[in-house]
Amino acid sequence: MLTEKSFRSYIEKLGYIPASTPMCVEKINRLSESGQLNFDFYVNTHNLCWFADDIWKQHNKKLLDKYPLGQKFFTLNIRDFKLAELNII
């Protein structure tokens, strides 16, 4: 189970600002319990990092199509958070 502390710590270690830690952690934990291991994240021009699930992507499609510059996606595996918590990565 991912904790808010380990989520925030790892995202900040990557150089980003977690945008909504409680919501991100809740969704990641729910999805990982159902077998999903990889999770997409989006960083906007203000360096805020959002968990980008399918609902988020659908809701923000117009925004992403209109302002693609300075915005990026990356994928993390649930193991990345756990290894970082153990100071392995």
The pLDDT averaged over each successive group of 10 residues in the chain (89 residues) is 92 94 93 93 90 87 69 86 81
Per-residue confidence (pLDDT) for residue 67, from 0 to 100: 64
Give the pLDDT score at 61: 81
pLDDT value at residue 85: 82
| pLDDT given at position 72 | 83
Q: How many domains does the chain have?
A: 1
pLDDT at 87: 79
Q: Which residues of 63-74 are buried (b: 16+ CB within 10 A; e: fewer)?
A: eeeeeeeeeeee
Q: Quote the pLDDT of residue 70.
A: 58
7 Cβ contact partners less than 8 Å away, ≥ 6 residues apart: 18, 21, 24, 25, 28, 81
Which pLDDT does position 3 carry in this prediction?
Answer: 92
Alpha-carbon distance 1 to 83, whole Å? 13
Domain around 53: 4-85
